[in-house]
Amino acid sequence: MMRKPLILLSVLALSAVSFSANSADEITSDQTRMVLVKNITGAISPKSVLSSRNGLVSAHNMMYNHTVTIYDANTFELLQTVPDTVRLGEFGYTQYSGNYRGAPVEGAFSPDGKYLYFTNYAMYGKGFTKEGHDTCSPASGFDTSFLSRIDLSTYAIDAVYPVGAVPKVVQVTPDNKYILVTNWCGYTMTVISVSSQKVVKTIKIGAYPRGIVVKADSSIAYVAEMGGRNIHAINLKDFSQTLIPVGSNPRALVLSPDESKLYVTLNAAGKVIAWDLINKKAIKSVTTGKAARSLTISEDGTALFVVNFFSSTISKVRASDMKVIQTIKTCKEPIGITYDPPTTRTWVACYDGSIKVFDNK
């Protein structure tokens, strides 16, 4: 009668040893290498790509194609091509009549996975007469634009929101309270309430605001001022700001999984810098190539991936010591990048009209 419990105990003990051994041998992302597995083409001109983290990847195809394309992250299948055309008057903006086209720049999936928001570089149609430009200021008088929302159950645009001139990056806070949009030519960030569906705040940032990342508890948004030297840490309770002096031309940013470090691309210098948020100082930087643009991080936080626009490369950086561990020629002018945690693949947007997908093996 006593043997069965003893046998069970022995099996459990062996299982524990086996589990411990497997855990110790687990391969981290910085121990793998990127291998090209798919080249996606078609009627696309992706400025950016984005993983939903639950089976989808979107590409935002600017005014060259006026679309957002949505792919199956596992099979690479094109699931839907969503035109950026909207009738603004049907959404309550009755000063606008007829159809309007946009220019999808970047996107953000809602935390519940129901929606995809995308920024429009400019709007095209009656009443829009002064299209934005990459060199600008609020005094330039460029048209303001709109943020659009795609309902992922129907793949149709079901909401639009007024934002500033030449909106670039959009993020939804993890608590699904706010939508944040940086306005390149407006030098501001628009704050939209999800519950009211209204703009509740416009925050002054400075020249060329771009990248946004938000803490997991939705308490702080970090915003890159690409025309300056600072990251703006914005308290999302009272919208107060503190500045983090990371260096000239900060563009894209991500947080480490434990949120103790902020990683930032410095575009002109072609570098990625690691900033210690606890001790408030730079840790280390590394040169990755000419014009370090978009940045993403592996789920385990051990590897960073950055596209180098003028070098036509993607670099993989080991986060622990900020060493470049792999550089691959990708395409002419790689501009956007995303890491898909379920598949451990890295997707790269190429302005030449393609998307490169890399396994990390």
Per-residue pLDDT of the chain (361 residues; tens, 9 = 90+): 334 343 333 433 434 433 333 344 689 999 999 999 999 999 999 999 999 999 999 999 999 999 999 999 999 999 999 999 999 999 999 999 999 999 999 999 999 999 999 999 999 999 999 999 999 999 999 999 999 999 999 999 999 999 999 999 999 999 999 999 999 999 999 999 999 999 999 999 999 999 999 999 999 999 999 999 999 999 999 999 999 999 999 999 999 999 999 999 999 999 999 999 999 999 999 999 999 999 999 999 999 999 999 999 999 999 999 999 999 999 999 999 999 999 999 999 998 899 999 999 9
Q: Which residue segments constitute the domains of the chain, with CATH numbers given? A: 30-360 (2.130.10.10)
**Three-state secondary structure call for residue 225:** strand
- What sign does the dihedral 265-120-58-260 (CA atoms) show? positive
- Exposed, middle or buried, 12 (CB in 10 Å: 0-12/13-18/19+)? exposed
User: Which residue has tokens 């309270």?
Assistant: 177
Task: Output the pTM of the full model.
Answer: 0.93
Three-state secondary structure readout of 46-101: CCEEEECCCCEEEEECHHHHCEEEEEECCCCCEEEEEECCECHHHHCCCCCCCCEE
Contact 343, 63 (CB under 8 A): no
Q: CA-CA distance, 168 to 185, in Å (whole number)? A: 10
Q: Give the long-range contacts of residues 264-270, CB within 8 A, separation 24 or more.
A: 264/211, 264/224, 264/231, 264/295, 265/292, 265/293, 265/294, 265/295, 265/306, 266/292, 267/226, 267/291, 267/292, 267/293, 270/308, 270/311
Joined tokens for residue 190: 């628009």
Q: What is the pLDDT of residue 352?
A: 87
